[in-house]
Every structure is written in C-alpha cells, then in structure tokens.
Structure 1
C-alpha cells in the first residue's frame, strides 16, 4: 500500500472534501483526487461516495480512516519528536466535555494544562450529547455514565453521587405535605422522591415548581429557597458545610461516574496521554471530595 496515498486519503477524509483538504495543505486539488483514486484502484474499493455537492466516506472508507488515521498521526508526532530532540506534546488537542463538569472545573484544568504544555493548542467544546469522535475530529471526550461503545476505550477518573438538598427555610416534608421541587429539564416527571438517611429510607411527595436547564441554575434556585433539589454532592458540599443548604438524604440510583473516552488503538498520541495524566494528577483518588476541593480553591 502506498503510504503517501494513504496519507492523502486521510487528509481528505479529515477535512471532508478535496477542496478543503487542498486549501489546508496547500496542495493541488487534482493531485489529491488522483492519489485517492489510485488508492481506491489498488485496494479495489470505493472509499468515497462522490456527489455534485457532497463527498461522503463509504463504510469501507470510514473503517480505513478509523484504523489508519491515528497511526499516521502517531508516526508524524514520533518523527517530529525525534527531529526536535524531545517528546514534548505539541499540536492541536480537541476535547468534548459535559456542561456541568466544564462549568465547575474545566476552565481551571485547561489553564493549568496550557501552562504545563505550551506547545499544545487545547480546544474544549462543552456539550452533553454523544459525539462522533472520528467525524467531528475529537481526540478525547469526557462523559457521564456513557453507553458501551466497541470503538472506544476509556477509564473512570472521577465519581460523584446525588443528594437531596434544600434551603434551611424550606420545611422538611411529612407524610401529608407536598414539597416544592427544582428540577433540571422537562423530562423529570416524578411526583415522589426517595432518599436514604441515617434513620433509613424516606419517601416524600414533590411538586416541580421550577424546571431549569442546568445544574448550576438549579443550585442557585435552591440556595434562594425555591424548593428541594437533587444535586451532585461535589456541587453543594461547600453549602452544606456553611449551612446555606441542608442535606435531606442520599438519592437512590446508580453512582455518577465520569469517563475519559478515546478511539481504541494501541498507541495514544502524546497530547492525549498528557491530558489523561493531567486529569489523574488533579483527581488522584477520583472522589467527590476531591472535585469539591478542586473547584473550591
């Protein structure tokens, strides 16, 4: 297989078209098209579906891109490191992270990483949706309790748990009262919540009087006396210590686990490895208390 043709194929696939790849690399569009056609002929496979306005990877093309793109990047980085006489990470690193974690900690994490690795251009996108790492050219994604994905590998780097909290001004519920609640989004239609306390399990009725789009908004509303809410302990631990919020109990349900995910491959880029190590240094034990302390300093 012609490695130069393979590199040109990856260039076109990464940029989503011959024209964009030509402008990015400063090479003739006709040359790139010819090299990709030669690669298709040598493999006896169609790697792109070509339309009048769109260029799309075929199933075989996507598989080839996923398997070879990371390896070519690793070869380029290794050559650059040898040429420069060192292994300092460099280049662009694109990370996708969930909204709440980004609001709580990612600004500080990113700034510390940029100081440590000045030759890496870190780009962080905040979103809770599942992203296609290959098509959207992410090097690493951070997700909460992700669904299994055979094309990705990863590790848990942080854990959290949900607690029910309210302002001291909000009376604790009884069997005959309905407590106003602040919830995130419109999907939570619960009329009763169940929590665990030192005295045992407790179930109480709630009326969602506020529906807000972020956990930060929910916490601020609860601080003001808007009602009871279910929030991560790391987000409210300082309020619990200060007495501005009261712990009503731990919420039943699966634990919250934050994962780092990246394409399954033998060799990780130096940039991704450095970022994974940076997260491990920030949260060596991966506990909610560590996250609370990190955002509180």
Structure 2
C-alpha cells in the first residue's frame, strides 16, 4: 500500500473535503484527488461518496480512516523522535478510565503526568463500558476486572477489595434480621457474605437507597441511613477515625485495575511513559497506596 496515498486519504477524511484539505496543507487539490483515486483503485474499494457539494466517507472509508490515522501519526512522531536523537514522549494520548477512579484519582494522575511530560497532549474520558479501542481511537484503557480479550494486553497496576461499612449510629442486626442498605444500581434485596474477625457473617440487605455512583453511596452511608458495600480504599480514612465501622470483608471481592492496550501495535513512547508513571504513583499497587493518593 502506498503510504503517501494513505496519508493523503487521511488528510482529506480529517478535513472533510479535497478543497479544505488542500487549503490546510498547501497541497494541490488535483493531487489529493488523484492520490485518493489511486488508493481506491489499489484497494478496489470506494472510500468516499462524492456529492455535488460534499464528500462523505463510505463505511469502508471510515473503517480505514479509524484504523490508520493513529498509525500514521505514530510513524511521524517516531521519525521526529529519532531525528531529534531521543525517544521522547510526544503527541496525543487518549485514555478511557472508569468513573470511580476518574472521580477520585485521575485528575491528580493526569496533572502529574502532564507536568512530567509537557509534550504529550493527554486526553482522558470517563466510561464504565467496554470501549472499542481501535474503533474509538484510544491508546490505552483502564478497566476493573476486565473480561479476557485476545486483542488486548496489559498489566494490573492497582488492587482493592470490598468491605461492608456502616455508621456507628446504625445498630448491627442480630440473627437474620434485615439490614437497611445503600446500594449501587437496582434496589432489590441482596445477601452479602462476609469474612470477619470472628469468622463469617451473612447480611440480608433491604435497600433504602439505590444510587448510581459509588461516591454517592459513600456519602449516604456516612449520614447513617444504612450499611454499604464499598472499596476499602474509599473508606479507609473513615474507618481510621471512627466515622464508619468495618462490619466485614465481602468474600471473593478482589478488585483489580488493569491498564490495557492493543497487542497488535507497538507500545508507543507515550503509553510506556504513562504506564511507568502509574507504577511510580502506585509502586506496590495496594489499597493503602490508593487511599493515601486519594487523601480525604
């Protein structure tokens, strides 16, 4: 495949037309049109639908643009780094991170990374869904206990666990008596099995509040409306000063945060630098490190 033709195709796709691409790049419009036509002929695909006044990517054209634009950018940046004599991280770095980590720690992580690597344009979006890294143009995603994916590789950089906590004002039930609970998501009755210092305990939870955010759950349980199941990193300060009491650890509730990237691509200097920064921020990856990083 002709890389120059591919670069011209991406230039036109990015600007939405031959005229706009020509004005932005200083390249002749006729040259861009010829290059794209040659690429279409080589691939035996129509990449653009050509109207009288506008130009629109076909489905195949959009797929090619999504998959090749970032690769061409990496080639340019790699060449620039080699020419400058050092593989210095630079360019755009797009990351998708889960909501809770974004609310508690990603602002601080992003700011520290930006100060250390000012040539990297860091963009972080918050999303709990499993984004398609290739289709949506992400360089790295952070996910909690992700399902195995042969297309992705990565590493665990943090671990956490779930605990049952409640305000000291909430009377701990005896026997099978239901416990008023603050839950995330649907407000149906639940059973929480825990390990405690005395062995084990089972709590029958009758939700009094169903909230969509773990931060909301934490804030509500502090008020004393009910017990809650929360990451220990989020409530360790409350447990230390007695604002909340620890009722037990949820059985088999390890939470692992993974940093993932596509296995089909070489690891760029930007992604490597961000992974190194996570390792520096959380050298052992423990809940205590995350709690200390978050602060109050």
Q: Name the TM-score, length of structure 1 as normaliser.
A: 0.87
Classify the secondary structure of the residue corresponding to 1:252. strand
Distance 1:38 1:145, change over 3 A: same
Distance 1:33 1:268, change over 3 A: farther
Shift of 1:76: 1.1
User: What is aligned with 1:95?
Assistant: 95
User: What is aligned with 1:223?
Assistant: 222
* In structure 2, C-alpha distance between the alignment counterparts of 1:284 and 1:79, rounded to whole Å: 32
* In structure 2, C-alpha distance between the alignment counterparts of 1:152 and 1:250, rounded to whole Å: 31
Contact 1:166–1:222 (8 Å) recurs in 2: yes
Classify the secondary structure of the residue corresponding to 1:182. strand
Classify the secondary structure of the residue corresponding to 1:88. coil
Question: Which runs of no fewer than 5 residues in structure 2 stay unpaired?
Answer: none
Distance 1:43 1:55, change over 3 A: closer
* In structure 1, C-alpha distance between the alignment counterparts of 2:81 and 2:69, rounded to whole Å: 18
Q: Does 1:55 align with 2:57?
A: yes
Contact 1:10–1:65 (8 Å) recurs in 2: no
* In structure 1, C-alpha distance between the alignment counterparts of 2:119 and 2:79, rounded to whole Å: 16
Shift of 1:16: 8.9
Shift of 1:41: 1.7
Shift of 1:8: 2.9
Shift of 1:31: 4.5
Distance 1:92 1:70, change over 3 A: closer
Distance 1:160 1:69, change over 3 A: same
* In structure 2, C-alpha distance between the alignment counterparts of 1:118 and 1:41, rounded to whole Å: 42
* In structure 1, C-alpha distance between the alignment counterparts of 2:37 and 2:97, rounded to whole Å: 37
* In structure 2, C-alpha distance between the alignment counterparts of 1:20 and 1:237, rounded to whole Å: 59
* In structure 2, C-alpha distance between the alignment counterparts of 1:17 and 1:285, rounded to whole Å: 47
Contact 1:18–1:32 (8 Å) recurs in 2: no
User: What is aligned with 1:6?
Assistant: 6
- How well do the aligned residues superpose, as a CA RMSD in angstroms? 2.7
Shift of 1:70: 5.1
Question: Which runs of no fewer than 5 residues in structure 1 stay unpaired?
Answer: none
Shift of 1:183: 0.7
Contact 1:47–1:57 (8 Å) recurs in 2: no
User: What is aligned with 1:165?
Assistant: 165
* In structure 2, C-alpha distance between the alignment counterparts of 1:273 and 1:20, rounded to whole Å: 38
User: What is aligned with 1:138?
Assistant: 138
Contact 1:50–1:56 (8 Å) recurs in 2: yes
Classify the secondary structure of the residue corresponding to 2:6. helix
* In structure 2, C-alpha distance between the alignment counterparts of 1:161 and 1:275, rounded to whole Å: 24
User: What is aligned with 2:194?
Assistant: 195
Distance 1:251 1:90, change over 3 A: same
Q: Name the TM-score, length of structure 2 as normaliser.
A: 0.87
Distance 1:193 1:48, change over 3 A: same
Distance 1:69 1:262, change over 3 A: farther
Contact 2:18–2:32 (8 Å) recurs in 1: no
Contact 2:96–2:140 (8 Å) recurs in 1: yes
Shift of 1:131: 1.6
> How many residues are matched?
292
